[in-house]
Amino acid sequence: MHLKPYISLVTKVLLLLVLTFYFYPSDGQTTPQFPVSYRVFNPVIFNPAIAGSKDFFSIDLLAGKYGESNSQLLSGNARLTKKAPEYFSSYNSPEFTNIGIGGYLFNEKTDSIRTLGISGTGSYHIQLDDNALSFLSFGVTAKVLYNDYQGNPDLSKPAKSTTYPNFDVGIYYYNTNLFAGLSATNLLGNPETPDSTGFTTLAVSRQLFLQVGYKFVISKSLNIIIEPSLIVNSDDSFSGEVTDMIKPSLRLYAGKFSLGTFFNDFDNTSFFFQFKYPKFYVGTYFEMVNGSPFYKSPIRAELTLGLNISAIKSGFSRENHW
């Protein structure tokens, strides 16, 4: 298969993303900001091109609490299927198309601001090899956000509610071991112009994400895999500290169990684990402030629940759904 047309297309998309960030400066945060652990458990939230990259339909629920703040995120994504030709009396198993779909709902409450969001995602996957093991995908997410600011009488800031649209784009390469993606979120930026003090009730800005990881097979018989990965996240003006942009992660898969750590903040220590059953999984994520007892600094605690539904029902259990 000739890859030059695809490489040329990837180059053009990357250039478009870079130019988009260059001409539209802003500051703020990503939306949704919480739960933190979606960056580990469900990165399709920040890169729509990941939607449909697995051979099963995934429904995921994340919930987190940190002090008085709390957040919930419900998402799902799948690759569309079609019926394969029937041969005599053989089982008519489905074939996957090139189209992935997804979406999410979230509720986020931090301090005096509550944000609600709903989105829809579409992606297109291009097969790069004859064995259907290597793909390049492109994705777009359209979303509508509702922001409710409760006001601050001490600063003479009135309450305010705002509803606004936004969208994300991304590209993603994946095979059996390597995955890498680049995405841009909140491309329409912040619809609210900051006042003379720089204050805005909307904690949203354009964000750039780079994600890369590799699965090292330690033992095929025991199904033990180590996966180091890295997320680089910045606003479009690259205004933050380098250490705040770089977020490494290390994950160990051991059969039906996985555990690891994610450095969302180098001032904190975090760990997570998941246990999977044939069709669903449960997991937790904890984050603690370094050098501070838990009763002085609250522990961030998040829970994840997932449902994995295979499109291929061929009589044997498809349990390797991570």
Residue-level pLDDT at 238 = 80
Among candidate residues 94, 98, 89, 118, the one with its CA nearest the CA of residue 106: 118
Look at 104 and 9; give whichever has higher pLDDT.
104
On the question of a cis peptide bond just before residue 35, with omega within 30 degrees of 0, the verdict is yes
Residue-level pLDDT at 48 = 98
**CB within 8 Å of 2: residues ≥ 6 apart:** none
- Within its chain, how far is the Cα of 276 from the centroid? 19
Q: Facing residues of 304 across strands? A: 62, 283
Residue-level pLDDT at 271 = 95
pLDDT band per the 50, 70, 90 thresholds, residue 52: very high
Helix (H, G, I), strand (E, B) or coil at 66: strand
Q: What are the tokens at 14?
A: 């990357």
Burial of 313 (0-12, 13-18, 19+ CB in 10 A): exposed
Over range 20-33, report the average pLDDT.
Answer: 51
> 130-155, pLDDT tens digit by residue?
888 999 999 999 999 999 998 888 77
Residue-level pLDDT at 88 = 56
Does position 17 have pLDDT exceeding 70, yes or no? no
Residue-level pLDDT at 7 = 47
pLDDT band per the 50, 70, 90 thresholds, residue 294: low
Residue-level pLDDT at 20 = 43
Over range 297-301, report the average pLDDT.
Answer: 84
Mean pLDDT over the full length of the chain: 85
Q: How far apart are CA 18 and CA 142, in angstroms?
A: 20
Q: Facing residues of 146 across strands? A: 116, 163
For the chain, list the domains and their CATH numbers.
4-310 (2.40.160.40)
Does position 47 have pLDDT exceeding 80, yes or no? yes
Residue-level pLDDT at 316 = 44
Over range 180-200, report the average pLDDT.
Answer: 87
Does position 23 have pLDDT exceeding 50, yes or no? no
